[in-house]
């Protein structure tokens, strides 16, 4: 999962700790990366990301899901499970 964020983004500061918590809980089965869109605008453009925070979910190098906005942990986990199959 890739967390696209920016330092100036207030909703990103809400989602960041949630992503960190999920990363810790699923460290055996899930790789989590954080990507600053200000430092890496070409990546955001390549994936059509126009709003942050955005979480991109990948399986075998292919995008299989995305979460846009500051959603509660339960909603993020539900979308993660749906995109990646039962517990990632």
Give yes or no: 14 in active site. no
On the question of pLDDT at 13 being above 50, the answer is yes
pLDDT at 85: 82
Using one digit for the tens of pLDDT, what is the confidence trace for 16-59?
Answer: 999 999 999 999 999 999 999 999 999 999 999 999 999 999 99
Contact between 68 and 82 (Cβ < 8 Å): no
CA distances from 46 to 35, 39, 40, 50 (A): 13, 14, 10, 11
Quote the percentage of the chain above a pLDDT of 70: 97
- Full-prediction pTM beyond 0.85? yes
Among residues 1, 4, 12, 44, the one annotated as catalytic is 12
Among residues 9, 52, 67, 80, the one annotated as catalytic is 9
On the question of pLDDT at 87 being above 80, the answer is no
pLDDT at 88: 45
CATH code of the region 2-84: 3.40.30.10
Phi-psi region of 35 (alpha: psi -120 to 50; beta: other; left: phi over 0): beta
Give yes or no: 12 in active site. yes
At 63 the three-state DSSP class reads strand
| Rounded Cα distance, 87 and 41, in Å | 31
Report the residue count for the chain: 88
């Amino acid at each position: 999962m890739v967390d696209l964020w920016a330092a100036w983004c207030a909703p990103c500061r809400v989602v960041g700790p949630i992503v960190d918590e999920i990363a810790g809980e699923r460290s055996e089965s899930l790789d989590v990366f954080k990507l600053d869109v200000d430092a890496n605008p070409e990546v955001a453009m390549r994936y059509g990301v126009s709003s942050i925070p955005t979480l991109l979910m990948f399986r075998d190098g292919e995008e299989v899901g995305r979460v846009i906005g500051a959603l509660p942990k339960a909603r993020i986990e539900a979308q993660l499970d749906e995109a990646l199959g039962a517990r990632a």
